Amino acid sequence: MAFIKHAAIVLLLAALIGASVAGWIILGGRFDVAVSAQLPQPVHDLIHLTRVNAVRREVRDLDARPIDLDDEAVLLGAVRGFESMCADCHQRPGGDPPALARSLNPAPAKLCEAAEKRSVEELFWVTKHGIRMSAMPAWGTTRDDQELWAIATLVARFPNLTAAEYEQMRAAAMAQ
């Protein structure tokens, strides 16, 4: 009985200390909200790993619906989609990071590298749903799945595209 009483007192004290610390942080605004502030590398790496695993979990039951990009009209449509919806933040194959990318934290992924590690389902899921607490938008709120599958299929091809090949496709897409 005495043990239970002591345990209850310890738990109560722990809860009071926890609530005081939470109040000190929340009400006192003691949290660095600046985008320019860098997280310690191990914390950044843990958040990144959690995000990668969370997306992998989300796509377990998702059927891949990659789009046939051999049809030139569809391919150029996907390039136009990438240009208008993605290229402000993500670099093109062989290109430089856009200016906006340097102002964001976490930084927009290098899609040529990401496409080597992620499945087309993962690329689609992120494009459609976005990533919480980052600048990655949920394009599914305004665009349909067909358009987003086409862009995800294009991004999946990025590792095989040279800067010159992409530039040629971009010129053709923008000329239309």
- Residues forming contacts to ligand HEC in the complex (CB under 6 A) are 51, 85-86, 88-90, 104, 106, 108-109, 114, 118, 123, 126-127, 131, 134-137, 139, 151, 155
Q: What is the maximum span of the chain, computed from C-alpha positions, in angstroms?
A: 82
Minimal distance, residue 49 CB to ligand HEC, in Å = 11
What Rg value do the Cα atoms of the chain yield, rounded?
Answer: 22
158 contacts 115 by C-beta, under 8 angstroms: yes
Minimal distance, residue 89 CB to ligand HEC, in Å = 3
Given the complex with ligand HEC, which of 39 and 163 has the nearer CB atom? 39
Given the complex with ligand HEC, which of 69 and 135 has the nearer CB atom? 135
3-class secondary structure per residue, 62-104: CCCCCCCCCCHHHHHHHHHHHHHHCCCCCCCCCCCCCHHHHHC
Minimal distance, residue 103 CB to ligand HEC, in Å = 10
DSSP 32: -
Given the complex with ligand HEC, which of 109 and 161 has the nearer CB atom? 109
Given the complex with ligand HEC, which of 6 and 102 has the nearer CB atom? 102
